Amino acid sequence: MKIGFIGLGNMGGPMALNVARAGYSMTVHDLTREAAGPLLETGASWADSPAAVARASDVVFTSLPGPPEVEAVALGDDGIMQGMTPGAVYIDLSTNSPSLVRRLAPLFEARGCHMLDAPVSGGVPGARAGKLAVMASGDESIYQKCKPVLDTIGDKVQYCGGIGNGTICKLMHNSIAYSYCRAIAECFTTAVKAGVEAEVVWKAVRDGAVGRGVLLDASLPRKWLSGNFEPDFALRLAQKDVTLATDLGREYGVPMSFSNLVLQEMDEAMDRGWGEKDSRIFLKLQEEKAGVEVRFKEPWKPG
């Protein structure tokens, strides 16, 4: 299988190197030839345009900053589509727009080609080590054909379903990550202003349920995502804890907008008579606003 790779920056360069080190024949392209230096040293070939990469490849990867760059490289003059032959596969590793991905895929299909979106998570260290989460979506048979190459890029390669689903998962992942950072910031600033050293509050959070990953590994899948609201920890107790936390913020003059939003929704859930239900039941309010219920299809099992 001949591989093409376009976009050899902080993420793309290390990912491409891991593909090359796995023994694949490669053709590469970037805005500057200098970026391709480490790949050329492994025996990869240089191409002067995305179209030239596509002409030389069975599978073409892109790792680009965002939707404008992806669209230009895919559809522009001397773009990927200009060079692809029937049966070839285009895989976009960028954090992209689901709407663009779903618009591009039929255009490639009309030329007898295929497209997968496969955004990655794990940062530059993960890219260098080949330890990325890869969220791939598109035609499953094409995914299976390309999975051995994806396995050289990441150690957790997941099929996410129809085209664009992987990109949606990546966007939600990143939004959760930065929202989590913001929630941590308001709680840490409150704690420090109330007299706790930063290292102490960090260690306390790291060693507690949050730092141990209990939310994603156990409590959310076992309770909310399974629709099981028999109480482990009652909502009335969680509401009391968040009330005390926001009271502390007000006492020390620290804005706690995220925590107050959570408290507002917990108060609404209490008004519905859910106080003795599991604390995660207040998440049903977001489901109501979104008009969708979030549940696993099969019963959740640990591990």
Residues marked as catalytic:
170
Task: For residue 59, report the phi and psi dihedrals to the nearest 5 degrees.
Answer: -135, 130
Strands (E), 80-210: 89-92, 114-117, 120-121, 133-136, 156-159
- Give the DSSP letter string of the chain: -EEEEE--STTHHHHHHHHHHTT-EEEEE-SSGGGGHHHHHTTPEE-SSHHHHHHT-SEEEE--SSHHHHHHHHHSTT-HHHHPPTT-EEEE-S---HHHHHHHHHHHHTTT-EEEE--EESHHHHHHHT--EEEEBS-HHHHHHHHHHHHHH-SEEEE--STTHHHHHHHHHHHHHHHHHHHHHHHHHHHHHTT--HHHHHHHHHHSTTTTTHIIIIIHHHTGGGT--S-SSBHHHHHHHHHHHHHHHHHTT---HHHHHHHHHHHHHHHTT-TTSBGGGGGHHHHHHHT-----SS-----
Residue 242 CB neighbour total at 10 angstroms? 20
CA dihedral 74, 76, 82, 87 (to 10 degrees): 10
Which amino acid would we find at residue 168?
A: I
